[in-house]
Chain A
Amino acid sequence: MKSEKKSISNTGFSRIIKQVIHAPSFSVFIVMVLMCVLMYIVSPPFRSVNNLLSIAKNFSAYAIAGIGVTMVIITGGIDLSIGSIFGFSGVIAAMGMVEFGLPLMPAVLLGILTGTALGLINGLFIVKLKLPPFIATLGMLSIVRSLCYITTEGYPVTGLGKEFLFFGQGYILSIPTPIWLLAVIAIIFSIFLNKTVTGRRIYALGGNEEATRISGINTDRLKILVYSLGGCMYGIAGIITASKLGIGQPTAGNGYELDAIAAVVIGGASLSGGVGTVIGTLVGAAIMGILRNALVLLSIKSHWQQFIIGCVIIIAVTFDQLRKSNKLAKV
């Protein structure tokens, strides 16, 4: 009897191990671990808890924006307006407090709602005007960035109250607030994508849009939802960054769209849709964060930094592709 129980538990354990190994983002997770081990060996300052927390704090905003665009990419779409919505939401939240005299939470909500509304507009352009996501969000990238300059005249919004700084500079149980926010958002969206009907439909939409539509699912509504949620996430990320720096900057998030999309792709998502996970995006964002930290700690000349980031993106994704093709060959 005892030996039977042991055998069952062994089977369960090995099943879990197999599941972990075959998880979509496992290979990039290995890349991340290898990077950490390498840095642990060559750079003593990397090992400090402060440094590790700082890395996590710095990539939290990218990762939250990345979670937003992960859902968009799963549907087979793309969002190039991430950086602009990121910047504008931060500016609006800051202006809400400084210019409109709103209390903390209404100002923050105003920023998040602004991001959500802009995401909703993206979705409406794509669904109602039948614009390709690349074009619709490229247009929004310019329009929203312009709004940043129009509303601020190019000046950063300063004079933010100390309570606002908690979101970017504060600590809960000795861990920076942005990390907590990232953890909560990652758990919510992981459950949403994997355990809810709407989440499964998002995957189905990316896998085969026509089949999903024929099966009676309102794909238009699903797309609008996904782009709106994306806008909401970019908004939250923008507000965290505004809080971290203590200013609402009209230039904030310039070019961040590529960083967020890179994190998602490194994390194993497919730009053709149907594939992608929140965990993968977290690992992708962590790889980018560790890399940036490593380049500073190792005093790598600035001119080489983009080169190295590009190489790591290609290596991580190639590693994942090879693993997937091996898996397919075995099937």
Chain B
Amino acid sequence: MRSFPMKKMLLITTIFTLLACSLYAAGSTDGEVVIVVVPQQLGNIVFLPAKEGAEQAGKDLGVKVQWMAPVKAEAQLQVEVIEGLIERKVDGIAISCNHPDALKDVLARAISEGIVVSTFDADSPECGRPFYAGTENYQAGVICGEEMLKQYEGNNKSSISVAILEGIPGAFDIESRKKGFLDTIKGSNLKVVYVGACDDDVDKSVTIVEDYTRANPDLDAWFMAGGWPYIVQPGALPEMTKWKQSDPENHKVVTMDVFSSSIAFFDEGLIDVAVGQNFYSMGYLSVENLYNLISGGEVEGGMKKEGFPGLFIDTGGQIVTPANYKDEIAAE
């Protein structure tokens, strides 16, 4: 076996060292306030408006905002990110938690080490954070349930079949939305006949929706607990399009999340209600209020709620329908 030449090893080591040094230099802060925003997962399109909001707040306030996330939506990976941030002694952390209990201890440790911590979108209320910015996922699910019930007001069918699309089974935020939806439709004539999990994979979400709709053309409604199938172009969903357009009065779709790509689906009458959360505000207000606290000020716009630790900043949401989608999504 040939030995690996020492010169090549030195060259590779030098290249990696230079790369590491340049990346470190790019990330160095020179004494300015550093706030790190930690979404649940890198590359999840839902969080991108939060990134824009956080970066805008950073520009407005002269704060260094960094976006850091695990590549998968796993609580353990987020714990590792937070542990790294504690070692780096950053000034503030805003996090959307993959699981409230799994993140509780590490966030409490960060707070005890003098880092100002807040949560957005998905909370960890017991960790001791001073405020949470967002709309609760359970509440978002309740809104979806209410909107679905409205779609079938006056419909006397004894049983209306509903299929649900979810992400990774057991993921806390999606489970909360699902629970909110199921609790709301409980006792009504809406019956859940199928729950399909797409593992947060857009391609799989399209396959599941298409396969189930093709096999069950008599299905009445879809509830998408996340907007995965609406990131694509409508042409990727021919079965869904056929089903929806065959009986628009009785075939209904209620979905979480609103994207700019949702416009094409509204144009073709493929969505009845989309419930959006204001991620831009979540990002902006989190950074703004973390900065207030770091510089000795107070949280602005927060409110006290019974049984809710810390302050609640309600970033509101949007209910987008075929009647208002052009204004609502353009405004976003």
Contacts and interface: CB of A to CB of B under 8 A. Distances in A.
Interface string A153-176: 011101010000100110000000
A247 interface: yes
A260 B51 CA distance: 33
Interface residues of A, number: 41
Given A51-B211, A154-B48, A296-B211, A302 B197 contact: yes
Nearest to A148: B43
A311 interface: no
Nearest to B200: A251
A220 to B, nearest CB: 11
B231 interface: yes
Q: Which of A51, A154, A168, A301 has the most CB of B within 10 A?
A: A154
B134 to A, nearest CB: 20
B233 A165 contact: yes
Interface string A240-274: 01001111011110110000000000000000000
A241 B43 contact: no
A246 B195 contact: no
B16 to A, nearest CB: 12
Given A46-B215, A51-B211, A54-B211, 7 more contacts: A54-B210, A155-B48, A158-B261, A160-B233, A292-B207, A297-B212, A303-B169
A149 B42 contact: yes
B166 interface: yes
A215 interface: no
B208 interface: yes
A48 B214 contact: yes
B28 interface: no
Contacts of B215: 43, 45-46, 51, 296-297
Given A154-B45, A252-B202, A245 B236 contact: yes
Nearest to A254: B201
Nearest to B2: A130
A293 B211 CA distance: 7
A247 B232 contact: yes
Contacts of A250: 43
Interface in A57-90: 58
A43 B216 CA distance: 11
Interface string A18-52: 00000000000000000000000001011010110
Given A156-B231, A245-B236, A247-B233, A45 B216 contact: yes
A299 B261 contact: no
Interface of B: 1-2, 4, 8, 12, 42-45, 48, 51, 71-72, 166, 169-170, 193-197, 199-203, 206-208, 210-212, 214-216, 231-233, 235-236, 239, 260-261
Contacts of B239: 50, 54
Given A169-B236, A252-B203, A296 B42 contact: no
Interface of A: 43, 45-46, 48, 50-51, 54, 58, 129-130, 145, 148-149, 154-156, 158, 160, 165, 168-169, 241, 244-247, 249-252, 254-255, 292-293, 296-297, 299, 301-303, 305
A302 B45 contact: no
A190 to B, nearest CB: 26
Contacts of A50: 214, 239
A247 B231 contact: yes
23 contacts: A51-B211, A51-B214, A129-B8, A148-B43, A149-B42, A154-B45, A154-B48, A155-B48, A156-B231, A165-B235, A169-B235, A244-B203, A247-B231, A247-B232, A251-B43, A251-B202, A292-B207, A292-B211, A296-B207, A296-B211, A296-B212, A302-B169, A302-B195
A280 B231 CA distance: 34
Contacts of B216: 45
B71 A145 contact: yes
A252 B194 CA distance: 25
Nearest to B195: A302
- Per CB-CB distance, the 5 closest pairs between chain A and chain B, nearest first, are A246-B233, A302-B197, A45-B215, A245-B232, A296-B211
